[in-house]
A and B are shown apart, each in its own frame.
Chain A
Amino acid sequence: MTVLMEIKDLKVHYPIRSGFWNRITDYVYAADGISFTIEAGKTYGLVGESGSGKSTIGKAIVGLEKITGGEIIYNGEDVSKPSVRNKMKYNKDVQMIFQDSLSSLNPKKTIYQIIAEPIRNFDKMDKESEKQRVIELLDIVGLSKNAMYQYPHQFSGGQRQRIGIARAIATNPKLIIADEPVSALDLSIQAQVLNFMKRIQKELGISFLFISHDLGVVRHMTENIAIMHLGRFVELGTREDIYNNPQHIYTKRLLSAIPQIDIANREANKAKRAQVEAEYQEKRSHFYDKDGLAYPMHQISDTHWVSTPPTQNSEGTGK
């Protein structure tokens, strides 16, 4: 087990400006005190509702978001500073796949130019081997080499998403951050893209941080899952911890809200969901502090961390 990246107490706060002088009157705590470790070759899921701050964390890790506090330790150095990132060619090792495949590919560039760009940035290759590499990458994601001379609009959503994957793996990264990579796709195409990602992850031994609101997809794709709510983690554990033994009321609420293909027990599921929702509303004040934020997490097993009110488990170590 090699630790690839350590995120320590990451904070991203956005200022809210208002009033006559446009002074900073308050902050949005998009990510507030996030700590977790990414091990080499493992998959991590980050789940939360819209506005929970999950995309902010992804962007902060690749350096698209200026962080307010905390550290992102990669190879022993804090990569939250642009100068450090440039020096160690951090962006070669950490790549991102975006949700909207059309807007993340330059419409005026051919697929060849799009995929070759990261190669040119980081690897010195001659024309011929660069071309070979692009063909090889297209082959990995199941596209023919004729695709090289085409433009993004000539492809379907699923194909574009695969081009995005080809670009992301072009520099042999160690970590890929995938922000809702399949939420805009149809079921059969989604299955195709997920299979590709999983295969590539296994074959190339890349670590994945999979950001999604779809608990079914996250369960399929990742071994470790963090549940995020209002800028903080409320629960962190293995897939089994989260799905079979959820502890936090918010995790329970999210899990119960997933539509079930269980028609015989439709009414029973609905009743259970209503009960979980009632429990959530009732115990909310207990599980969240007076500002409505989750408490720090405490360890309850080797792999499982839960945000618990300070009175309980006060002997646990904070994370």
Chain B
Amino acid sequence: MKEETLLSINGVSVAFKINGEFYTAIDDVSLELHRDEVLAIVGESGSGKSTLATTVIGLHNMNATQVTGEINFQGKEILELSEDEFNDIRGDEMGMIFQDPLAALNPLIRIGDQIKESLDVHSDMTEDQKQARVHELLDQVGIPHPERVAKQFPHQLSGGMRQRIIIAIAIANKPQLIIADEPTTALDVTIQAQILDLLKDIQRENHAGIILITHDLGVVAEVADTVAVMYAGEIVEQAPVETLFNNPKHPYTRSLLRAMPTIDSESDELYVVEGAVPSIKDMDRNSDLFAPRIPWTKPDVGHPVLKEIAPNHYVRGESWREFKFKDEL
């Protein structure tokens, strides 16, 4: 597994400007992604998981965003790239799959032309070659009658089909890194299973690395190799997928796993995490941010740090050692 490092994120913090002041949305995140690896980033809305993805692919409005730290992608410091240099990488070596396929596709442009666009920019193929590649891509993502679909418009396709088009665009130039932000959230379970299998197949072919952003722990358990759990802009736990599900340590991870209605859960009450994720204006970065949601547990003093408690298993702070759910007290 531990092969060539594709992407390394080092101490990245992101702050957004709100009414003239900067507020931290992501605080000192470090992650590594290797080839052939699926790294899942899990968290609730407001945890900063999508912000992290947009930072890696450089889609922030730089006038209102402060990014510090280092992101190294295949030997390049991408935070130091100019907009033009970044444009060369984006859509070529990096592909992004968005959550809402209808919003990500231009309603007025035919499917084939939208896929061809990234080939126009990043390759020197002839028109005929591009045409052939478009059909090949549509076929690869499992769309029947590629020639016909290439001439259609987004509204003529179903949600699952549109998501496949987004994937076709993202992989058009055989990217080394695929960032998938909730790729299956809007889809039915049967289609979700197909799309996840498809992503895995594409990854195998290109030896790509995938960052999968999701709040669905079932999806994580199905496809991820490594999981990072984010809360309030920080990683609170990071571990190989088996460890995270079989031996979770941080109270937040354990709470999430408990809140899930599973096929096997017969209990009447689902576990509820008290309170809510704080808004970024109210986060006190010098405190234990999850502590207010487990008030019966003694919080860490000051700002807890992420520690490696076992090989490749990182947990933030010390309070987890004492943590028990209310009904276990």
Which A positions have Cβ atoms within 8 angstroms of B?
49-51, 156, 186-192, 194-195, 198, 213-217, 219-221, 243, 253-254, 257-264, 266, 269-270, 273
Contacts and interface: CB of A to CB of B under 8 A. Distances in A.
Contacts of A188: 44, 255-256, 259, 272-273
Contact of B272 (A192, A257, A259, A266): A192
Contacts of A192: 272
B265 A220 contact: yes
Interface in B36-71: 44-45
Interface stretch (B114-122, B187-195, B281-289): B187-195
A187 B259 contact: yes
Interface string B217-257: 11101100000000000000000011001100000000110
A191 B271 contact: yes
Contact of A257 (B44, B192, B221): B192
A313 B165 CA distance: 43
B241 A263 contact: yes
B265 A187 contact: no
Nearest to B255: A188
A261 B220 CA distance: 8
A263 B272 contact: no
A194 B261 contact: yes
Contact of B276 (A156, A254, A257): A156
B132 interface: no
Nearest to B256: A187
Interface in B76-129: none
B197 A217 contact: no
Given A49-B190, A187-B44, A215-B189, A259 B216 contact: yes
A23 B256 CA distance: 53
Given A187-B260, A190-B259, A191-B259, A213 B189 contact: yes
Contacts of A254: 189-190
A262 to B, nearest CB: 7
Contacts of B219: 259
Contacts of A213: 188-189
B190 A264 contact: no
Contact of B221 (A186, A198, A259): A259
A216 B270 contact: no
Contacts of B44: 186-189
The 10 nearest A-B residue pairs measured at CB: A259-B218, A191-B270, A220-B261, A188-B273, A191-B259, A186-B44, A49-B188, A257-B189, A261-B221, A257-B193
A253 B216 CA distance: 20
Interface residues of B, number: 37
B49 to A, nearest CB: 12
7 contacts: A191-B270, A198-B268, A215-B263, A254-B189, A259-B189, A261-B217, A263-B242
Contacts, number: 100
B221 A260 contact: yes
B159 interface: yes
Interface of B: 44-45, 158-159, 188-193, 197, 215-219, 221-222, 241-242, 245-246, 255-256, 259-263, 265, 268-273, 276
A261 B259 contact: no
Contacts of B193: 257, 259, 273
A191 B272 contact: yes
A217 B190 contact: no
Contacts of B265: 220
Contacts of B268: 198
A219 B263 contact: yes
Contact of A261 (B197, B218, B276): B218
Contacts of A260: 218, 221-222, 263
Contacts of B222: 259-260, 266, 269-270
A34 B158 CA distance: 25
Contacts of A191: 259-261, 270-273
Contact of A258 (B189, B215, B241, B256): B189
A216 B159 contact: no
A187 B188 contact: no
B276 A195 contact: no
Contacts of A273: 193
A273 B197 CA distance: 11
Given A50-B188, A187-B259, A191-B259, 8 more contacts: A188-B256, A191-B272, A191-B273, A257-B190, A259-B219, A260-B222, A262-B221, A273-B193
Nearest to B187: A50
Given A215-B263, A258-B189, A220 B221 contact: no
Contacts of A270: 197, 222
Contact of B262 (A186, A198, A216, A253): A216
Contacts of B242: 263-264
B283 to A, nearest CB: 16
Given A194-B261, A270-B197, A253 B218 contact: no
Contacts of A263: 221, 241-242, 245-246
A99 to B, nearest CB: 12
* Residue in B44, B246, B270 whose Cβ sees the most chain A Cβ within 10 Å: B270
A183 to B, nearest CB: 9
Nearest to B185: A183
B249 to A, nearest CB: 17
Contacts of A195: 269-270, 272
B127 to A, nearest CB: 35
Given A259-B216, A261-B245, A50 B159 contact: yes
